[in-house]
Structure 1
Amino acid sequence: MSTRIVVVGGGTAGARLAQRLPVTLLGEETHAPYNRVLLADVLAGRYEPEVITLPDTREPVRRGVRAVRIDRAARVVECADGTTVGYDHLVLATGSNPVLPPLRGLRDARLPSGVHPFRTLEDCLALRTVVRPGVRAVVIGGGLLGVSAARALAALGAEVVLAQQGERLMERQLDERASALLRDHVESLGVEVHTECRVSGLHGGDGAVTAVELADGFVLDAQVVVLTCGVRPRVGLARDAGLDVRTGVVVDDELRTSDPYIHAIGDCAEHDGRVYGLAGPALEQADALASVLAGAGSAYAPPGTRVPDGPRVPVPAYTGTRALTRLTLGGPVPLDLAAFGEAEAQPGDDVVQLTDGTRRAYRKVVVRGDRLVGGVLLGDLAAIGALARAWEGDEALPHAPLLHLLTHDGGS
């Protein structure tokens, strides 16, 4: 008797698990699973949608199937099309939803024509149909996704304004100097950047957006508005099923929820108080759970299955992910950036910085005691491999001048 594993969600985490194990994968989107990180390149026209399709899963994906209810007692998933799927182990990989800001003229369920979230391939393709040279576009949100979307829209010839409520672009990943260099590059692509700029409402006529109003009363003409204000874990299915939910679906070191027969991975999962919302952790969680489900012995065997005698096969625990952010922005002179850990130093930390104004390159690392705790690199990523290994391994740094951390060999 084989174990029935059902995965709800065909995004990065769900697809990765389905590549590792034979599972029934329920994907709400009608597209084959794809690499969400490359959506901005599809929008810019650099890639066609089929190029970002993920490798095939071990079993065919059931596309266009939305799970609406979990019957935990019967171990059955109910779907919107009336079908049901039984499981021995259920994996929630439901991802996240875009945050819709509280703006005048914006209703959660009914976006005015011309207003687009930027989260799915469908969002991306919808934008491609309306963006053309000369279109006035406003991107609300200056994080990683907003910067990527603004760059893509500019590549299509749109007149782009990027409105960021915070003090600087990508403030979660970059320090002040790195963010200023990023802003210079984004503006060199033709994007008008406004920071410390709060959007208060949308103007429209006949159901279509015509302008964006700022908190200070200034109005920006807009034919297209792109919402990149962050994401929120998609936990409704889990909450309705009575699972433990905080910000995300709470999981332990084996990615197990408060129900021992249900796991959660990816953007919807909260491990050790943290929701990552990034591709790297989603992939690591999927790989860890594949090991758990494939080798955990009697603790994960389906009811009625005879398990061979002997000790349970040990399974490595998931202890969290050290997530590194990378981004490449096009233009006449492309800009590469990478950021990891804590970019801002605390009292007592050692900081090493190198700036090359002529090459528009910037490198910085933060060292606490004998550990590398964070860094930012723009323009020259030659040292990122060695730095990332030192940071991810959390090992004591070699006894060498700290400046060696920023040389091309990373001090190795």
Structure 2
Amino acid sequence: MRTERRIAVVGGGMAGARFAERYTALGGAGTVTVYAAEPRTPYNRVLLADVLTGRYDAEAIALPLGAARLRAGCEAVTFDPDARTLGLADGTVEPWDELVLATGSNPVLPPVRGLRRADGAGLTEGVHTLRSLDDCTRLAEDAVTARRAVVVGGGVLGVSAARALAALGVRTEIVHQGPYLIERQLDAEAGAALRARLDGLGVATYPGNRARTVVAPDGRVAAVELANGYRLDCDLVVLACGTRPRTALAHAAGLPVGTGVLVDDRLAAGAPHVSAIGDCAEHRGAVQGSAIPAWDQADILALRLSGADPGARYTGSRPSARLSAAGLEYAAFGAVDETGDEGLDVLRLTDATRGSYKKLVLRGDRLVGAILFGDLAGIDALADAWARDDPLTGHPLHLLTAGSGPAPG
């Protein structure tokens, strides 16, 4: 009679790897098998731009799996929640007792004419996404002979990709529909400081603009035409327009799916012994789509399924973001938009000489959000104060000036 518990993790991304490592570290019973579509060890996608510049190699960004077993290059194409079986692309069928869906997300292709080849077989030559190490390899090869690049999308990934291409010597421009860069984490002032810093690094930006057409008269990209008719000549295009949850597997198995796979606070996915975490999961009406919530969910599910804390529940993640690259650093966390809330106070500190900008958002004597751009001195103290949610002691200006010289008396 079989007694060993079998945990199948579908997806070898950041969420799946984190769950496998934490579950085995907590002493969870049975065997954990990670089924990864990519033919390699799971890795940290957040660092792909640094791989592009050569700061890291592929091995350096590999993620640990603990005692879990990896089935690389084994894509799951079906699963049966009643029979508890998993069908793989090679035709084999594997049994499981607990199934963890960590299928991640796909890059969003914007509604831009000319993105795809005339025969429909893939993207136009010179057009790239940046979601995997294979994407990174292809982009690096193309960048060797590229002279000008256009990045479509000015979020975190778009800014990181543009900075990396500029570091490789490619003249780069960003086209962004939003009013300013990284508008989900920064405010207008920080966005303006970021734009100025990028300009100094050789990256031009066009916020409030939309790409309309990829011009490729000979099958290779030659320009990007904007909605206002302006034309940006280029021989390389990078699409950084967000991601969409991979839900086809869950949908085909009859699980409830909205934007993502619907999960409750236990991260249960609508069928017995099936859970979902990371970019593919939709919790309380939201798909988080970033690394920290994915890891938070993986940690909670590992606690619950391992038995270390059977009552563990995921109630959400506190929003935070951080980017650190040569000549470009920022951090943001909590509620950074004070508009519409008269109970909030805001403290700003701008240093034009350093090109830095700092902002604290306070409710009474508690820190509810912060932005630091260009100077991350004091970030640890600020993040700790925010995480503890304890009353601040002394004047909050001391937190802003920590490490940046003496605070005013």
| Residue identity in the other structure for 1:98 | P
Give the Cα separation in 2 of the matches to 1:383 and 1:279: 23
Q: Give the structure 2 partner of residue 335 of structure 1.
A: 328
1:398 aligns with one of 389, 392, 395: 392
Task: Give percent identity, aligned residues only.
Answer: 53
Q: How many residues align?
A: 391
What corresponds to 1:219 in structure 2?
A: 231
**CA 1:197/1:358 → structure 2, altered by over 3 Å: closer, same or farther?**
same
- 1:44 paired with 2:53, answer yes
- Deviations, residues 365-390 of structure 1 (Å, cap 9, x unaligned): 11134432211001222222222223
Which has the larger displacement, 247-256 or 95-104? 247-256
Kept after mapping to 1: 8 A contact 2:81/2:272: no
Segments of structure 2 that go 5 or more residues without pairing to the other structure are 25-30
User: Could you tell me which residue of structure 1 aligns to residue 402 of structure 2?
Assistant: 408
Alpha-carbon offset, residue 392 of structure 1: 2.7
For 2:87, give the aligned amino acid.
Answer: E
Cα displacement (A) at 1:178: 0.7
Following the alignment from structure 1 to structure 2, what is the Cα–Cα distance between the partners of residues 84 and 246? 28
TM-score norm. by structure 2 comes to 0.91
Give 1:335 deviation, angstroms: 2.9
Q: Is the 8 A contact 2:367 2:392 kept in 1?
A: no
**Of the candidates 359, 364, 375, which is equivalent to residue 380 of structure 1?**
375
CA offset digits 1:210-249 (Å, max 9, x no partner): 2111111122222111000011111111111111111211
User: What letter matches 1:315 in structure 2?
Assistant: G
Match of 1:228 among 240, 254, 275: 240
CA distance in structure 1 between the partners assigned to 2:145 and 2:192 by the alignment: 27
The aligned counterpart of 1:202 is 214
Partner AA of 2:14 in structure 1: T
- More deviation, 178-187/371-380: 371-380
Is 1:319–2:315 an aligned residue pair? yes
Q: CA deviation at 1:56?
A: 4.2
Q: Secondary structure of the residue that 1:61 maps to in structure 2?
A: strand
Matched residue, 1:100: 109
Query: What are the residue-to-residue correspondences of 1:112-123 with 2, within 5 Å?
Result: 112-123=124-135
SS of equivalent to 1:205: coil
Runs of 4 or more consecutive aligned structure 1 residues displaced over 4 Å after TM superposition: none
Q: 2:362 aligns with which of 367, 370, 384?
A: 367
Q: 2:270 aligns with which of 252, 255, 258?
A: 258
The structural deviation recorded for 1:132 is: 2.1
1:5-28 Cα shifts (integer Å, max 9, x gaps): 100000001011121334111001
**Closer/same/farther in 2, CA of residues 243 and 369 from structure 1, 3 Å limit:** farther
Partners in 2 of 1:109 and 1:284 — Cα distance?
38
Task: Report Cα offsets for 1:33-77 as digits up to 9, x if no partner.
Answer: 111111000111211211111124413311111111111121111
Describe how 1:26-65 pairs up with structure 2 within 5 A: 26-65=35-74
Contact 2:245 2:279 in 1 (8 A): yes
Tell me how far apart the structure 2 counterparts of residues 127 and 160 of structure 1 sit (CA, whole Å).
14
Q: Cα distance 1:74–1:314, how it changes in 2: closer, same or farther (>3 A)? A: closer
Native 8 Å contact 2:385 2:392 kept in 1: no
Could you tell me which residue of structure 1 aligns to residue 88 of structure 2? 79
* RMSD, aligned CA: 1.9
* CA-CA distance at 1:363 after TM superposition: 1.0
Match status 1:344 vs 2:356:
no
Q: 1:356 aligns with which of 345, 351, 354?
A: 351
> Residue 2 of structure 1 aligns with which residue?
4
Deviation of 1:150 (Å): 0.2
Contact 2:335 2:361 in 1 (8 A): yes
* 1:133/1:157 contact within 8 Å kept: no
Q: Distance in 2 between matches of 1:247 and 1:340?
A: 25
For 1:161, the aligned partner's letter is E
Using the size of structure 1 for normalisation, the TM-score is 0.90
